Structure 1
Amino acid sequence: MRREGGSGGLDRFRVLAALLVAANHTSPLLDLSPLADHILTQILARLAVPFFLAVSGCFLLPRAEEQGRRSLLPFCRRVLLLYAGATLLYLPLRLYSGALPGPLGLLRDVVFDGTFYHLWYFPALLLGLALTALAPRRALWYCVPLYLLGLLGDSYFGLTAALPPLRAFYDLLFRCFDQTRNGLFLSPLFLALGERLGRTPPRRGSRFYAAALAGALALLLGEGLLVSFFGLARYSTMYLSLPLALWLLFRLLQTLDLPRRPELGTFALVFYLIHPWAIVAVRGGARLTGTTAFFVEQSLTHFLAVVLLSGLLSALACRALSRRSGQPAAPAAPSRVRCWVEVDGAALQHNLAVLRRRLPEGGKLMAVVKADAYGHGALPVARLCAAEGIDAFAVATVAEGAVLRRGGITGDILVLGRSFPPEFPDAFRHDLILTAADALHARELAAFGRPLRVHAAVDTGMARLGFPAGDLEGLAALFRDPRLRVEGLFTHLCAADGPSEADTAFTRAQLQAFFTRARELRALGIDPGALHVQASAGLLRYPGLPCTYARPGLALYGVGDGALRPVLTLKCRVAAVRDLSPGETAGYGRAFRAERPTRLAVLTAGYADGLPRSLGGRGRVLLHGQSAPLVGRVCMDQALADVTGIPDVCPGDEATLLGPGLPAEEVARAAGTIPNELLSRLGSRVERVYL
């Protein structure tokens, strides 16, 4: 299953990253092989902190881009409080060691080096956020040079030291801080990479990223060994190939099919904070018990003892925190217990291939994902489409477009419906393309004061939105308005699915009117930009039209043509089985009366889940591969199916309400509606599972 956001893998790797930090501070392989320990702690473990930074950038910086930098303030306040608390936690150790600096040294520790050796992460995170939040989408332009400067003061300081001017520059820097792995040089790059990783979906599968990561790790290993061999490093915490390895690791984790486990992030944070105290406790306990030779001098045993103690303390702390907040320690993963939808990514890929064959040469698909992708889940579907090379999407509202942007969709997003002035700032912020619905609307768009992206709608017969087809003057004025970026022209075919000759003639008249307007605009020296007229029915019945885009919605999800495959399957469980004698009734209003010995299955789905109420007595479900009629009235949460002829039906069995063998067209016809309405009305409490 593919989980929305791809964060399940990130949650789990946080724990491994915390273990790598502990390994770096305990050298677990030193007794077995100094070289192996160097590879683990001084090269591979250097991925841990950049990973933490990238996760923060992934979730925080897109918000700063959308809502402004002030949206980061609550997070920064929490980090400051955590940093202050951790400083107090480790103050006894600093007092015991006698390593208390003077006022300037204390300022340097607080701002750059950390008040204890592992606490440098917190000021680095805060300072890095301050730098990257200046321009989150353009931060890489200045974060890369900063990282390279830091690199010359870290793993490649041997080269720097050989050049007196550079050496003098870095000597000056090292008066301000001890290392360049801080909030000025290291953290901004990985925060910026996290922002980019969170804003754009993976475009390859897990096998590709696993193979690429293996290559990047080999490159990192080779670089680290060469740096060590030539004695170039001052601290060896930054490598040239480290950002590449981090990028590929993050992408691989984003493709993993795992449910969210946010509590693991809390566990990893507590583990990171507390493990130095565990090191002290293990060493102190070993001295008191006379087991120093086993628990301290044997490096692997020492590491394992520190990990076990840190893990135990972290688990207890997380349990206490969850009780205090009233939240469960581990939220349940999606379980397919009651009523759920399965979205078949392979079927979506097949449908994309079928629809692409109906395009003209150079034509592209604009995936319509409005109404939560017709009940399929807008963001997961958009990500699947993006992975297949789709770079244009259509939604109905500005809010729907903003959801895609926040989820990392980077292609063009067209808002098909009419937008209103209060929505224009969000549309501009999220780089959405708005529909110019008529001349009045065009004036509102132009009056916004910032250059909104626009496609002009032409009403060729739908009598809904759009400039009248004969209003060439109004269209020309719109395209010439310097206050707008008008990038396309489109219409909607209202009878493309009609079987009659009259419907066909009307559709051809719409097409002629549209293409005539496009030619007339060109004759005036105006480029109409991207042209698109075909929704699903138009693409299936009138393929190959000379347009930039086709806008399939329903067809994308497997409805409307025998060559397409249903993407969605709606399932539920059997809650109970009831036997009725002739004359007994069931359901509200005693709507079902048994005329023979009858066995009914009580299904865990109702009209609140999207099962139309009108299907009672008219629809069917599939149980054990056989058809069972729906009887009685469909209730809000349950329905009844006659399973008299199906043996061995029992509670817990799966029932298929919609999907292969029970297509949306059939179910919609039985309910007296259309597939569009049926799919888009699936309830919000229905779990979505992505295959």
Structure 2
Amino acid sequence: MNASGKSPAQYGGLDLFRIPAALLVVAVHTGPLLTVSSQANYLITDILARLAVPFFLAVSGFFLASGVQKGWRGLRRFCCKVLLLYGISILVYLPLMARNGYFRGCTPLSLAADLVFNGPFYHLWYFPAAVLGAVIVFLLLRRLGERGTLAVCGLLYLVGLLGDSYYGLSAVLAPLSAFYGLLFSCFDYTRNGLFLAPLFLLLGVLLREHPPRLAGRQYCALLCGGLALLMAEGELVAQLGSARHDSMYLALPLCIWPLMRLLCSVKLNSFSAIRTASTAVYVLHPLCIVAVRGGAKALGLLSQDGFLLGSSLLHYLAVATASLLAALPFALWRQRRGRVQSSPPALRARAEIDRSALAHNIGRLTKLLPSGCELMAVVKANAYGHGDVLTARVCMENGVKAFAVATLAEGIRLRRAGIKGEILILGWTPPEQSRTLARWRLTQAVVGPAYARALNDSGCRVKVHLAIDTGMHRLGFSWDGGDSLLTACGLKRLRVTGLFTHLAFSESLAPDAVRHTQEQLGRFRQAAELVTAAGYGPLALHALSSYGLLNYPPQSGMAYARPGIALYGVLSRPDEQVGTPPDLRPVLSLRAKIARIHALSPGDCAGYDGAFAPSSPARVAAVTIGYADGYPRSLSNGRGRVLIRGKFAPVAGLICMDQLLVDVTGIPEAREGDTVTLIGRDGEQVLTAEEVAQAAGTITNELLSRLGERVTRVLIP
């Protein structure tokens, strides 16, 4: 577990395949079976080994996805890392380039083409291809979305294919021949960042963004089918004799997609050392080829055909071994560096988010829903203080496909983090931000007739849910305002896909509250029937939030229920009675550290205004959390209490902005550095959020949602 709240990345399957992929690249440049069987060698080096580079590109895209979510900054970081490695690799190969006469015929234009497309040394083309391809994918995704980007990248790949394995077919047609002649005057091959890289980088991005839809055995069957097609296509290309270079095949994407899915299903922690080793093998293996051949020649072990003892297989094994040994120091360095970085920092204050408790709550709340109704997880206000991105990701893992937020910024943050499905903004968004709503595929709540017109007049088509005021008198169309409702539904630039209301009295089961709630639900049904009778729909209807779901059985025809506070395993107040007693588990625990312990004598005082002045010897502990972190100042002077080593200790004096004091006189074993639990369990004792909120004179909704950014969210299993 790390301090950001992320569990250790489980992409070990991807990492484990990197070394075989790197060794396949070595095979391409050494021909391991040439002295055994040219046909077998063609099968390995010209067909199967062509999986290696697309695999590396797809893996780059897989990790690029998080950078794409961060915008230009994430793309820049990715490109800078690749370009740095590219620059180092060029420096490594400068002596060989000079020895081979590279600079004798070099012109500024040819150098530029090599740096951008071909690579100045034969295997270094991968690095500029990854950068150029990443920029293309990033720009296309921003402009065209996933489907449009996939179409363009697929088209680029087909263009590259006709200049690669199927070049013979395009060469016989004069227009195509002229077109490719122009291309090849700019660069040597179409297996570059324009044509080959974008498709496989995009596949990696899509793999990261979308959960698998098939079982592992189905992806295995697809991989086997794809490999069979790849083999058949490779044989066809050989028979046609049409290849200018055989790096690109139609079947390659059909192999890479299921291969990546299978490798992602192997849930092992990532191996950063293997990543570094595979990169080092890729970069250094040409040097190892030169070293092996030079050494074998000096020892008289090199045959006339250039192979070690006349065996291409021995030659390959020697180069592969040398490459792995050359990569070993880099792998060890990365492993040591990883150990240092993975050591979790001592956190000043943290909110522990229990993944299993959240998953349990999702399951329990889902069981309350009728057929056809789904959860819309309310993750506004930073998921009630739990961390919106972190919470939404756990919800997605557990089948939740719809989310509700309060603001445009909250919705964008979820989209940038890769959250899919419906994201409904429950609050008001300036109409002039309609293009931003559309760009991020967000659904906007329409809060009234004037707002509907303003949003429609903004010039961009927007997906919306109409808010219906059935008695809350806060936001929405009046439930009996039929003309304004139907007018809004008919506005051309509003794509109305849902109606919703909010219940004002659902927290109570008192007779008057029940009557008001049933009245509101009846009004909502009337408004929905009016709209659907006018021919608008289908519409997603939703009315129940946490207490509505717990106190009133969801009615048929509802598409969503919107649990907020209940999703996080707490109620607003302690000992509340609900119609359906929930078996929910608290998701959040709040903890800090003892920074300092002071011994006080009678007459001493501690804190602002000397508010804590014991009449007998006492010990006070300074705890690393304060009201700026969201811990209420109203808990000062003993109204609040904490847990230390499984025992309760009262808050001493006035709570400060960054620290608070607690009286640990009754806990003599308390030491500096001890963990302090402000919400949650410590040993046999528990401090509930409901109890803390009540002591602070508020409700859990406010207490939790006010936890500040300085409190690090940490996801625990």
What TM-score results when the alignment is normalised by the length of structure 2?
0.77
SS in 2 for 1:543: coil
Look up the match of 2:577. Answer: none
Matches within 5 A, 1:259-298: 271=280, 275=284, 278-279=287-288, 282=291
**1:2-81 alignment runs, 5 A limit:** 8=9, 17=18, 20-21=21-22, 24-25=25-26, 49-54=53-58, 56-58=60-62
**CA 264–687 in structure 1, closer or farther in 2 if over 3 Å, else same:** farther
Query: Contact conserved, 1:28 with 1:300, CA < 8 A, in 2?
Result: no
Alignment-derived partner of residue 444 in structure 1: 454
Query: Equivalent of 2:583, from 548, 563, 570?
Result: 563
Q: Give the Cα–Cα distance (whole angstroms) in 1 for the partners of residues 8 and 207 of structure 2.
A: 12
Q: Distance in 2 between matches of 1:230 and 1:519?
A: 62
Change (3 A) 1:169 1:607: farther
Aligned equivalent of 1:650: 671
Change (3 A) 1:353 1:84: closer
Percent identity, aligned pairs only?
A: 41
Q: Would the aligned equivalents of 2:353 and 2:386 in 1 still touch at CA under 8 Å?
A: yes
Larger deviation, residues 228-237 vs 121-130:
228-237
- Structure 1, residues 664-688: CA drift from partner, whole Å, max 9, x if none? 1111001111111111111212222
Find the residue that maps to 1:538 and give its secondary structure: helix
CA pair 305-685 structure 1, distance change in 2 beyond 3 A = farther
Post-superposition offset of 1:625: 3.2
Matches within 5 A, 1:236-635: 240=252, 241-248=254-261, 251-252=264-265, 271=280, 275=284, 278-279=287-288, 282=291, 303=320, 305-307=322-324, 309=326, 331=341, 334-335=344-345, 337-527=347-537, 529-546=539-556, 547-560=558-571, 562-580=582-600, 584-595=604-615, 598-616=618-636, 617-635=638-656
- Distance across 1 between alignment mates of 2:530 and 2:208: 43
Following superposition, the deviation at residue 351 of structure 1 comes to 1.0
Q: Which residue of 2 aligns with 1:325?
A: none
Residue 477 of structure 1: SS of its match in structure 2?
helix
Q: What secondary structure is seen at the aligned counterpart in 1 of 2:687?
A: coil
Which secondary structure does the structure 2 equivalent of 1:575 belong to? strand
Which residue among 633, 636, 647 is the counterpart of 2:657? 636
Alpha-carbon distance, 1:461 to partner: 2.4
Find the aligned partners of 1:40 and 1:638 in 2 and give their Cα distance. Answer: 65
Q: 1:489-548 CA distances to partner (integer Å, 9 max, x unpaired)?
A: 111112211353332332222222222222222343434711111111111111223422
Superposition deviation, residue 237 in structure 1: 7.3
Q: Which amino acid letter does the alignment assign opposite residue 673 of structure 1? A: T
- Change in Cα spacing, 1:217 to 1:198, as seen in structure 2 (3 Å) is closer
SS of equivalent residue, structure 2 residue 193: coil
Change (3 A) 1:81 1:440: same
Deviates more, 1:332-341 or 1:431-440: 332-341
For 2:688, the aligned partner's letter is P
1:368, CA displacement in angstroms?
A: 0.6
Aligned to 2:198: 188
1:120 aligns with 2:125: yes
CA drift of 1:585 comes to 3.6
SS of 2:438's equivalent? helix
Name the residue aligned to 1:93: 96
Q: Secondary structure at the match of 1:622?
A: strand
Is there any run of 5+ residues in structure 1 with no aligned partner, and where?
Answer: 323-327
- In structure 2, the CA distance between the partners of 1:668 and 1:120, relative to structure 1 (3 Å rule), is same
Write the distance in 1 (CA, Å) between the matches of 2:655 and 2:456.
Answer: 50
- Write the letter of the residue equivalent to 2:58: A
Determine the C-alpha separation between the residues in 1 that align with 2:301 and 2:601: 78
Aligned-partner residue type, residue 189 of structure 1 = L
Q: Does structure 1 conserve the Cα–Cα contact (< 8 Å) formed by 2:207 and 2:261?
A: no
Q: Which residue of 1 aligns with 2:305?
A: none
d(CA) in 2 for partners of 1:606 and 1:34? 74
- 1:509 and 1:359 map into 2 onto residues whose CA distance is 21
The alignment partner of 1:592 has SS state of coil
Matches of 2:100 and 2:485, distance apart in 1: 77
The amino acid that maps onto 1:54 is A
SS at structure 1 position matched to 2:471: coil
Match of 2:692 in 1: 667
Q: Deviations over 1:563-617 (max 9, x none)?
A: 1111111122333444445565433333233355544444332223322222231
What amino acid does structure 2 have at the position aligned with 1:393? F
Distance 1:269 1:244, change over 3 A: closer
Structure 2, unmatched stretches of 5+, are: 303-307, 309-313, 572-580
For 2:367 and 2:345, locate their aligned partners in 1 and report how far apart those are by CA, in whole Å: 38
Change (3 A) 1:637 1:74: closer
Report the Cα offset of residue 286 of structure 1: 5.5
Cα gap change, 1:520 to 1:102, in 2 (>3 Å):
same
Pair 1:286–1:521, CA change in 2 (3 A): same
**Deviation per CA, 1:30-74, whole angstroms, max 9, x where unpaired?**
69x999999998888766543543355456678879979x99689
> Are 2:126 and 2:192, in contact at CA under 8 Å, matched by a contact in 1?
yes
State whether residues 445 and 464 of structure 2, in contact with CA within 8 Å, keep that contact through their aligned partners in structure 1.
yes
How high is the TM-score relative to the length of structure 1?
0.79
Q: Is residue 2:698 matched to residue 1:677?
A: no
Deviation at 1:83, TM superposition (A): 5.8
Shift of 1:283: 5.3
For the residues of structure 1 that align with 2:69 and 2:599, how far apart are their CA atoms?
60
AA in 2 matched with 1:554: I
Residue 78 of structure 1 and its aligned partner are, at CA, apart by 8.8
Q: How many residues align?
A: 667
Aligned equivalents of 1:44, 1:596: Cα separation in 2: 81
Once residues 87 and 596 of structure 2 are traced to their aligned partners in structure 1, the CA distance between those partners, rounded to angstroms, is: 57
Return the letter of the residue paired with 2:711. Answer: V
| Kept after mapping to 2: 8 A contact 1:365/1:552 | yes
Does the aligned pair in 2 maintain the 1:62–1:199 contact within 8 Å? no
After alignment, is 466-475 or 81-90 more displaced? 81-90
Of 418-427 and 433-442, more deviation after overlay is shown by: 418-427
Amino acid at match of 1:409: I
TM-align CA RMSD: 4.9
Moved more, 299-308 or 564-573: 299-308
The change in CA–CA distance for 1:252 and 1:41 in structure 2 (over 3 A counts) is farther
The question of whether the paired residues in 2 share the 8 Å contact of 1:603 and 1:638 is answered with: yes
Q: In 2 relative to 1, CA 531–675 (structure 1 residues): closer, same or farther, beyond 3 Å?
A: same
